[in-house]
Amino acid sequence: MRMIRNSIINWLIKNSAISEENRELYEYAVYSAELLILPVIMAIVIGWLAGSIINGVLLIIPFMLLKKYSGGYHAKKLSICMIISTILLTAMIKLSMIKLSICDIKPLYM
């Protein structure tokens, strides 16, 4: 991830879009964008593999809001965070796809 971030920043500096003085600021901005986009991409991929992209996207939106405003567990490395998040997201998408008998309500007119 760091290599991708650095290549983006280097490309921006090379094309005179930003100055070298602001490198650290833009590194943080690209890192923040990664943290915003990665969960959505993960949810789409896991949802696709599980057979329901809609469940993945609908599940990740409240998760992202909750994570942003409530804090929670912070792993020391991004890779560990991604592994734990992937496992939890996969489990929750699968759980959301289970049809419970409680949800199978028959219409009154039958």
Pair 40, 77: CB distance under 8 Å: no
Percent of the chain at pLDDT > 70 equals: 86
Cα gap 41→48, rounded to integer Å: 11
Please tell me the pTM assigned to this model. Answer: 0.63
Q: 43-94, pLDDT tens digit by residue?
A: 899 888 888 888 888 888 887 787 777 766 677 887 888 788 889 888 888 8
What is the total residue count of the chain?
110
Q: Are 9 and 27 in contact (CB under 8 A)?
A: yes
